[in-house]
Amino acid sequence: MSIYLVGTLDTKGREILWIRQRLIAAGHSCTVVDASVVSEPLFTADIGAEQVFEAAGHSLAEMRRVADRGRAITAAADGVRTVVQKAAERGSVDGIIALGGSAGTTIGTAAMRSLALDVPKIMVSTMASGQTRPYVGGRNIMMLNSVVDIAGINRISRTVLSQAVDAMVGMLAGRSKVEESTDDRPLIAATMFGVTTPCVLHAQSILEAAGYEVLVFHATGNGGEAMEGLIRDGVIAGVLDITTTELADELVGGVLSAGPDRLTAAADMGIPQVISVGALDMVNFGAKETVPEKFKDRLFYEHNATVTLMRTTMDECQALGEEIGRKASKSSGPVSVLFPSLGVSAIDVDGKPFDNWAFRLALWAGLQATCDKNVDLQLLQMTINDEAFAEAAANRLLQMLGDTCG
């Protein structure tokens, strides 16, 4: 098994060398990638810093002359990602370990996010106990807290680095077992929230009965990002995007945005997709006291002690409908948008806190304004969690897929 080790050998050379020796002792080959820019490395890497920066369109001499740390880190991240990605395309990367502080973590995880799901990825980092989403994104990256700074081999770092080695060896040993048990059913990606759960679970049962495996992503920002990434990896046959709530957080400023590229991958890849407007009645925040002051006069619903939901306005609903229509219209494959006119979430129905027919009408108007003729746009007199709506969505997707597994 070939493992790539990534780090700055001018400052983390002892630790990289320590990991390398133990991986070799465990029977694995190692390729060391040096992202140093400040001074000379402790030892000669298999892929030196000159090659790394050349891969990013720069030179090591240029980076040293400019002496701009931020620019150097960005270039190193681009270079390491390019080098590792090309090696992966040749089938030369079975696993990857990187270590560092904020700079090393930025560099190492940039490469990791470019790798397939089945490649083990371990990032030993001083940043692992904080906000890790910028580093992990939608990938299965294992972040291991270094506890102490990565500044030599001592009784603490030795323990943590040993655990990183053991984790990599174990994941590689288990990889063949996972491959042996791989399900060969075509994959459907679906999005779900607590307030759309009945719909998605019922649709899932229909799709699975037809011979598909359904991957359900929790629409919490990271979930949507992960789904978009897998779609672009080419492993998803169709998409049941019932819960597009992350678009509201991106538009208004909630905490669960999946970024501006949400709802673009299926369109770009040309795979069948059924889209709905699940939970677009809400923007997500943490505990009530964390909601920005500018929203103080809005309508709120306290989902629990740590989650506060804010009702989207009429203008926001129309803007969200327009955004979905624009993105759906760019699809090179079959696309259907289903609109549940009696409620888009469990709390946007008759008698519930966010029920508002005028706001739903604005959402519908936005869809009508921007959906081109290639979009199958349907208004259904149902709530999103009605079984009939779930059946309509699942059966529409099966129709577009041709039900080849039925």
Where do the structural domains in the chain lie, given as residue ranges?
A: 2-180, 187-401
Question: Residues 345-400: pLDDT tens digits?
Answer: 999 999 999 999 999 999 999 999 999 999 999 999 999 999 999 999 999 999 99
Instruction: Read off the DSSP letter of residue 151.
Output: S
CATH topology of domain 2-180: Rossmann fold (3.40.50)
Question: Residues 118-139: pLDDT tens digits?
Answer: 999 999 999 998 889 899 988 9
Q: In CATH, which superfamily holds the domain spanning 187-401? A: Uncharacterised protein family UPF0261, NC domain (3.40.50.12030)
Please determine, for residue 405, whether its predicted confidence score (pLDDT) is greater than 50: no
Please determine, for residue 404, whether its predicted confidence score (pLDDT) is greater than 80: no
The predicted pLDDT at position 131 comes to 87
- pTM for the predicted model, two decimal places: 0.80
Residue 190 β-bridge partners: 216, 240
Q: Where are the alpha helices (DSSP H) in 132-254?
A: 133-136, 155-180, 197-209, 222-232, 246-252
Question: Residues 75-131: pLDDT tens digits?
Answer: 999 999 999 999 999 999 999 999 999 999 999 999 999 999 899 999 999 999 888
CA-based angle 122:124:130, to the nearest 5?
110
CA distance 341 to 322: 16
Indicate the SS3 state at residue 252. Answer: helix
Question: Residues 266-321: pLDDT tens digits?
Answer: 999 999 999 999 999 999 999 999 999 999 999 999 988 899 999 999 999 999 99
Instruction: Tell me whether the CATH fold assigned to 2-180 matches the one assigned to 187-401.
Output: yes
Using CA of residue 331, residue 332, residue 333, residue 336, what is the dihedral sign? positive
The predicted pLDDT at position 179 comes to 57
The predicted pLDDT at position 180 comes to 54
Q: Are 218 and 193 spatial neighbours (Cβ–Cβ below 8 Å)? A: yes
Task: Please state the φ and ψ torsions of residue 112, each to the nearest 5 degrees.
Answer: -65, -40
Task: Please state the φ and ψ torsions of residue 98, each to the nearest 5 degrees.
Answer: -135, 160
